[in-house]
Structure 1
Amino acid sequence: MQKKMNARMIRKVRAGKAQFMGMDVLILNTVGSRSGQPRETPVAWFGDGDEAWLSIGSGGGSQNPDWYTNLMTHPEKATIELPGRGPVKVTPHRLDGAERAEAWKLISTAQPRIAKYQSKSDRQYPIVRLLPR
């Protein structure tokens, strides 16, 4: 079911309709951490300046999502796709400390439901800043 939903969202993003539940969505292209195979994943993003995107790895609450593991294993192979824009090579940076706190404030203000979702988990969701390279 998740694969079908992801495929549908990817088609929507490529067709220029890049929103889901009030959040902007991009396509994150990674390489599988174990398989080495290309992976495409729609993920919500939040603007962080002119040329930076923030994503949060909620992964259903209990564990980091596969896209996050893939991204951190092969950061040099990451690209994103945004509506009306070809693939952009990006460098991911996991945010910690004050940087994470600042990003969390931006994200939770934009989407309060994410803060509610985080409050139900025992782990702190990772936040990744994607910068063009």
Structure 2
Amino acid sequence: MKRFIIGRIRSIGYAFKGFFFLIQTEHAIISQLIIAGIFTAMGFYFGITREEWIWQILAIGMVLSAESLNTAIEKVCDFIHPDYHPKIGIIKDVASGAVTFAALTSLIVGGLIYFPYWLG
């Protein structure tokens, strides 16, 4: 049992190490965190409802998670094959496409939340 608990604590440490690596080095994550901050400020400004906060937080988390996984895939691809290769390019494009799905979905969620406030 003690080994199990120590293992879980280490896992949390590794997760935070990855978290801080991403927010310190990855420009896409940094940009998305800035956008998330803007939408968070807008949420306070417009006084969005609890349910709207839930959807907004889920949308932000979805985009950041997708971008994080995209970064991991790109790092693995670069490690395995540092030179350009068409198949590696497709893998990276598909991973980036997943981020695009998440970002477009979050834009729709943001629109559904904020258009009524903007319109009056």
Q: TM-score range by the shorter chain?
A: under 0.3
- Quick check: which one's strand share is greater? 1
Larger Rg: 2
Relative to its length, the structure with more helix (as a share) is 2
TM-score (normalised: structure 2):
0.22
* TM-score between both structures, scaled by the size of structure 1: 0.20
